[in-house]
Amino acid sequence: MLYAVLFWEYIKNYAKTRLTYRADFWVEVLSDMMFQGMNLIFILVVFQHTPSLGGWTESEVVFVYGFFMIPYGIFSTFFGMWNFSERYIVKGEMDRILTRPAHNLFQVLLENVDPPSLIGSVVGAIIMAVCWNDLGLAFHWYYVLIMLLFVLGAVLVYAGIYTALSAISFFSDAPTGIVPLIYNVQNYGRYPVNIYNKTIRFVLTWLLPFAFVGVIPASYFLEKKADDLSQLAWFTPVMGIIVFSLGLAVWNYGVKRYRGAGS
Amino acid sequence: MMSAYLDFIRIRFLTMLAYRVNYYSGIVIYAINIGAYYFLWKAIFGSAETLQGFTLAQMTTYIAVSWMARAFYFNNLDREIANDIRDGSIAMQLIRPYSYLFVKMMQGLGEGLFRLILFMGPGLFIVCLLFPVKLPKDPSVWIIYFIMLMFSLFINSQLNILTGLAAFFVENNEGMMRMKRVLVDLFSGVLIPIAFFPGWLKSTMEWLPFQAITYLPSAVFTGRTPMSEAWGVLGLQALWFFILLVPIMFTWRAARKRLFVQGG
């Protein structure tokens, strides 16, 4: 209950600061959309020259991309701690966080909340709906629940990975450059994983499970393929819980070891 | 006077050298991106021999060399200029006895030199080990490609300077800078060679400077554009370089009239 009240207060605060600079808000939304649009243009242009991508049709690949955008938007809204090392460790704001009773990760996340990213999720959902129609897929009412479950699992996968990566700053305050590196790996999850070689496919499925934020859960709703990825779809929530627990464990261990930067 | 400008190249090179560790992970990131597009294009080709005049081998080389060219010509001149304008330090720059924009260009060159030696060079070497990239054997292709790369850097820096100068006219050009980055990546041909664009977009692109940044030089490097046409490509790059000087001059002139610094 306390957390729900806190959550609401943080959001209200966010709205107040952002409403002072309304133009910036829309510019940010627009440039986000353009960045996402670039990937979509890539898919659309490429399919002018080929009927299928590793056995997936254009609508199917766009469908996967639409799904990919939904958890990504939610994740960027609530887990946007890209400058954690800089702001909380180097500048010492973590000390302020630790003097308060609410869980420290919860506070850090809410201080960096970024609701405009949710628009990306909405666009993703629209793209999925359009492709759903194009592909003439069956729709059952319980698909909505399954979808919510998969999206939640995918968000937890992201959250776990980036929480663990942010926690690295507790051990070393020098910039490691690992976050942008993983961020680029994550883009592999947008496309059907069967186009990659065995090693990359294994890494994307089990080590850095970015296949679970896009292609695997999305394939559950599509026609079955030869290698039948959709069998793995039900692992999405499981994977989410495992990865997030690991991330949270690394974080809590890091907080325990944290001694302050001395500034 | 020229030696003062040359010093700006040297100083920027040395500054970058001090932070060279940041660029090691950059090489890995570029390799990751090249890998993603390599597998994508492999799947796109499927069983096709050639697409739009590219063989798969040429396409692989195209992706590798285009991303590595991006590693070379990329810089943040737009952000640097915008910051100078926003925090008012542009005033101090203007009273100094040099041309501010020329200094920025020199700093861009210094950064380019650093990126060529410590980013693009080793990056291309590593990428060649990882993926089946076929480098051209004819030394004249290498020579002309390097001249083209210089123009890529010039043209990209000019576009950056123009975007940065926009900060004189709008309060916050952050969104503009991000959009420019997307446009340059998409239309310069790093992600998709211009030849793959649908007809109307392709003919629009022929009238814009973006293709001169990546697509034209990379097409020569991969052998899709024969050497006999390479001089024409170089001429087109040079033409864009001179054309782009005009809007920069006008913006700069208009900007200095508008400038007022709050405090500072």
Closest residue in A to B29 (Cα) is A181
pLDDT at B260: 67
Establish if B57 touches chain A: CB-CB under 8 angstroms.
no
For chain A, what are the domain ranges? Answer: 2-257
Number of other residues whose CB lies within 10 A of the CB of residue B46: 14
B33-77: pLDDT as tens digits? 999 999 999 999 988 888 988 999 999 999 999 999 999 999 999
| Residue in A31, A49, A200 nearest the CB of B179 | A31
Q: Is the pLDDT of residue B130 over 70?
A: yes
pLDDT at B264: 47
A211-248: pLDDT as tens digits? 999 899 999 998 887 777 788 889 999 999 999 999 99
A173-213: pLDDT as tens digits? 676 778 888 888 888 888 888 889 889 989 998 999 999 99
Question: Does any domain span residue B263?
Answer: no
Mutate to test the interface with A, among B70, B119, B178 (most CBs of A within 10 A): B178
Tally the domains of chain B.
1
Rounded (10°) CA dihedral B76, B83, A183, B194: -40
Cβ atoms A97, A89 nearer than 8 A: no
Rounded (10°) CA dihedral B201, B202, B205, B210: 110
Contacts of B48 in chain A (CB under 8 A): 50
Domain that holds residue B146: 2-258
Q: How close does chain B come to A178, measured CA to CA in Å?
A: 8
Average pLDDT over residues A82-88: 84
Q: CA B233, CA B225: separation in Å to the nearest integer?
A: 9
Q: How close does chain A come to B28, measured CA to CA in Å?
A: 7
Question: Does any domain span residue B264?
Answer: no
Chain-chain contact of B43 with A42 (C-beta, under 8 angstroms):
no
Average pLDDT over residues A12-28: 78
Contacts of A195 in chain B (CB under 8 A): 39-40, 42-43
| Residue in A27, A46, A185 nearest the CB of B175 | A27
What backbone torsions phi and psi does residue A214 show, to the nearest 5 degrees?
Answer: -145, -85
Q: What is the ipTM of this complex?
A: 0.85
Q: How close does chain A come to B43, measured CA to CA in Å?
A: 5
Establish if B206 touches chain A: CB-CB under 8 angstroms.
no
Structure tokens at B209: 């400077």
Average pLDDT, chain B: 91
> Which of the four pLDDT bands, split at 50, 70 and 90, describes residue B261?
low
Establish if B135 touches chain A: CB-CB under 8 angstroms.
no
Question: For chain A, first and last CA: distance in Å?
Answer: 35
Closest residue in A to B34 (Cα) is A184
Q: CA A15, CA B98: separation in Å to the nearest integer?
A: 45
Chain-chain contact of B25 with A35 (C-beta, under 8 angstroms):
no
Establish if B24 touches chain A: CB-CB under 8 angstroms.
yes
Q: Which residues of A have a CB under 8 Å from any CB of B?
A: 21, 23-24, 27-28, 30-31, 34-35, 38, 41-42, 45-46, 48-50, 52-54, 175-178, 180-181, 184-185, 187-188, 191-192, 195-197, 200
Lowest mean pLDDT among A158-162, A201-205, B148-152: A201-205
Cβ atoms B108, B253 nearer than 8 A: no
**Segment (H or E) for A149:** helix A142-171
Structure tokens at A225: 């393929």
What backbone torsions phi and psi does residue B54 show, to the nearest 5 degrees?
Answer: -105, 135
What backbone torsions phi and psi does residue B193 show, to the nearest 5 degrees?
Answer: -60, 140
Chain-chain contact of A185 with B32 (C-beta, under 8 angstroms):
yes
Establish if B35 touches chain A: CB-CB under 8 angstroms.
yes
Q: How far is CA A96 from the centre of its chain?
A: 27
Contacts of A196 in chain B (CB under 8 A): 39
| Residue in A49, A53, A181 nearest the CB of B28 | A181
> Which of the four pLDDT bands, split at 50, 70 and 90, describes residue A261?
low
CA distances from B140 to A1, A71, A120, B211 (A): 72, 50, 47, 22
Instruction: Tell me how long chain B is.
Output: 264
Q: Which of A34, A29, A30 is nearest to A116 (CA)?
A: A29
Chain-chain contact of B44 with A46 (C-beta, under 8 angstroms):
yes
B170-218: pLDDT as tens digits? 877 888 888 899 899 999 999 999 999 999 999 999 999 999 999 999 9
